[in-house]
Structure 1
Amino acid sequence: MAGSPKAVKGTVGTRRSSRTGHLASGQFSLAGSGSFVMRFMDTGGIVDVDRVADAFHMSKGQLAETAGLGAATVSKADRRTSPRAQTRVTEMLEIISRIREWAGGEAQAMAWYRSQPIPALDGRTPEALVKSGKAGAVRDYLDHLALGGFA
């Protein structure tokens, strides 16, 4: 695996990597998560939760639950743009972006995100970790696997 991490500032100050690596038995790319997330942003750089919900065939309530937000947060226009709402949805999208190729697509990546316990992270799912503000732990775990580390 060539290359060193390339930090790129996102809309909420998160880092992204340009490396590629292995996850379990498949290959995934850590590059391109920015373009995936950008797909869901409006011209002002705000994640459009309606677009996210539509893309994953979810109701706004389901999206709110998946991101660890209240239903009112994604239903009311003034709350959708709050830093907390934007951060949670962006973190969810970045993690899904990192594993979508390996998982076989966006729907499968969302299924992994919502249901796959990660033994190295106390058996918690990526969804549970993001809800509790620990998206960085999931990104670090994926970075570790991309570098050839064990799950």
Structure 2
Amino acid sequence: MQGLEIGAAWYGEEGSPFLSAHRLSEQLGVTQAELAKLIGVARNTLSAKSATRKVDAALSPVVRILTMAGEMAGEANRAVIWFKHQPIPGWAGKTAYDLVAEGKADQVLAYLEAVRSGVYA
């Protein structure tokens, strides 16, 4: 759980308990519109103060994936490269980014958990 706290701190907005869409989009090297599409929310929702909890909940699986991948890869930049570019075995060449965009973040997390446990696909 400590890793998730580190990830949340890394992707959070200073002085706020919530994750930052701006910081995550910068880290991933995507626009706010691309990030909104990735996590399944409207572009305007990312910056709406009234939607902070909704955005935080939508960003959380991506941050969990990046945090776990970062722990396994040794650094956040490697995790981002893996997330965006490395096909996951058994998913017809799809990357973690592709699967998250399809609403399958839980399956990416399950894959990472299996790899971390020593089970390779």
TM category (shorter chain) comes to 0.7 to 0.9
Q: Partner residue of 1:123?
A: 93
- Which of 15, 29, 32 pairs up with 2:3? 32
For the structure 1 residues 125 and 87, does the alpha-carbon distance in structure 2 shift closer, same or farther, using more than 3 Å as the test?
A: farther
**Contact kept? 1:67, 1:89, Cα under 8 Å:** yes
More helix by share: 2
Q: Partner residue of 2:68?
A: 98
Q: Deviations over 1:98-120 (max 9, x none)?
A: 11144353222112112222122
For the structure 1 residues 116 and 88, does the alpha-carbon distance in structure 2 shift closer, same or farther, using more than 3 Å as the test?
A: farther
More strand by share: 1
Structure 1: state its 5+ residue gaps.
1-15, 17-30
Q: Partner residue of 2:116?
A: 146
**The 10-residue stretch of structure 1 (141-150 or 85-94) with the greater mean CA deviation from structure 2:** 85-94
Q: How many residues align?
A: 120
**Contact kept? 2:3, 2:71, Cα under 8 Å:** no
Distance in 1, matches of 2:62 and 2:25, equals 12
Q: Partner residue of 1:77?
A: 49
**Contact kept? 1:68, 1:130, Cα under 8 Å:** no
Task: From the CA coordinates, give the structure whose radius of gyration is larger.
Answer: 1
Tell me the TM-score normalised to structure 1 length.
0.63
Structure 2: state its 5+ residue gaps.
none
Distance in 2, matches of 1:68 and 1:115, equals 20
**Contact kept? 2:83, 2:97, Cα under 8 Å:** yes
Q: Please provide the CA RMSD for this pair.
A: 2.6
Q: CA deviation at 1:35?
A: 2.1
Residues 1:60 and 2:32 are matched in the alignment = yes
Name the amino acid aligned to 2:4: S
| Other structure's SS at 1:51 match | helix
Tell me the TM-score normalised to structure 2 length.
0.75
Report sequence identity in percent. Answer: 25
